[in-house]
Chains A and B, each alone.
Chain A
């Protein structure tokens, strides 16, 4: 089963300094039919003006992932971390029993674009932790590259949930097979380009929620950059 959510039908937020496309209810935007998918609670496509961002605020019992698509993000927290990340880098925070942090566009002249993802944790009340990781952007080409997973490695950030986030850049006409285990869900986000999956055509900004499908083919209708999340 696949449910496609076209970009044109998605809610949008414009605060002047922040333009955001939340896939699920967030802040003042509340749709009881769009509160998450499996353990995925938040998927915001954020565009942040230079020098602007989110001031000090808390989080708890949430696995928070920031994937930088363009520009630079600066994260600072009460654990002592202060990190600037750009494209090819991922920030992961396990909020656990509580963390205070800020996120700002670290550039004075370049817009920041990031995907901000929140997941319910496997375990509540854990000791908070933070990690910034870097992946090889060349490995995105015509492959599904894991960038965040509970099965972590040097270029794959760890996360406190039984899940994996993949990124991929697929050339037009190329296909990638993917097989899901029973009971798992897949969440697709087309960052750029067009993607065909399970007989559906997805364009830039479209998302898809896939369940009860064993194997599928991801095919680039044109050159495409997308995110695939395999989650419970």
Chain B
């Protein structure tokens, strides 16, 4: 199974972080009834864009299998939960709910 973590702009889908394209370390942990994403990423223009657009982010986890369809999980980012620690080079995002979906189940 291949797992991909993505942070995209909700307005039009521009990709800010894509673990399949960038060598980044990320972790997902439980936080209350939601999740906390911790991403080690050096300070950059991309980080500044993420912070500037913190209310317009889509956070995804894609799970791709060889023998079954891709499962996509989209996370609802909590208001005011996007933070960046410059000293540690660490971005954190809290999500309070998620929706799992199989794209092939929707008609085209």
Residues on A facing B (Cβ under 8 Å): 25-30, 41-42, 53, 55-62, 74, 76, 78, 82, 97-100, 102, 104, 118, 124-125
Contact = CB atoms under 8 A, between A and B. Distances in A.
A57 B13 contact: yes
Please report whether the interface of chain B is mostly helix, strand, loop or mixed according to DSSP.
Answer: mixed
Contacts of B74: 58, 98, 100
A56 B105 CA distance: 9
Please report whether the interface of chain A is mostly helix, strand, loop or mixed according to DSSP.
Answer: strand
B88 to A, nearest CB: 28
Contacts of A29: 12
Nearest to B12: A27
A216 B14 CA distance: 39
By CB atoms of chain B within 10 A, which of A25, A57, A58, A97 has the most?
A: A58
A41 to B, nearest CB: 6
Contacts of A53: 108
B100 to A, nearest CB: 9
B106 A55 contact: yes
B79 A118 contact: no
A60 B76 contact: yes
B108 A102 contact: yes
Top 6 A-B pairs ranked by shortest CB distance?
Answer: A27-B12, A26-B12, A58-B74, A56-B103, A56-B106, A102-B106
A61 B108 contact: no
Interface of B: 9-14, 55, 58, 72, 74, 76-77, 79, 97-99, 101, 103, 105-108
A76 B107 contact: yes
A30 B14 CA distance: 10
A53 B101 CA distance: 18
Nearest to A55: B103
B107 A102 contact: yes
A16 B55 CA distance: 31
Contacts of A74: 107
B106 A59 contact: no
By CB atoms of chain A within 10 A, which of B11, B55, B72 has the most?
A: B11
Nearest to B60: A58
A76 B106 contact: yes
A74 B55 CA distance: 28
A82 B106 CA distance: 10
Contacts of B103: 55-56
Contact of B97 (A56, A59, A98, A102): A98
A36 to B, nearest CB: 9
Given A60-B76, A61-B55, A100-B99, A28 B12 contact: yes
23 contacts: A25-B12, A26-B11, A28-B14, A42-B12, A53-B108, A55-B103, A55-B106, A56-B72, A56-B103, A56-B105, A58-B58, A58-B99, A59-B10, A60-B77, A62-B10, A97-B76, A98-B76, A98-B98, A98-B99, A100-B101, A102-B107, A104-B107, A118-B11
B79 A104 contact: no
Contacts of A76: 106-107
Given A97-B76, A98-B97, A100-B74, A55 B13 contact: no
Contact of A124 (B12, B79, B106, B107): B79
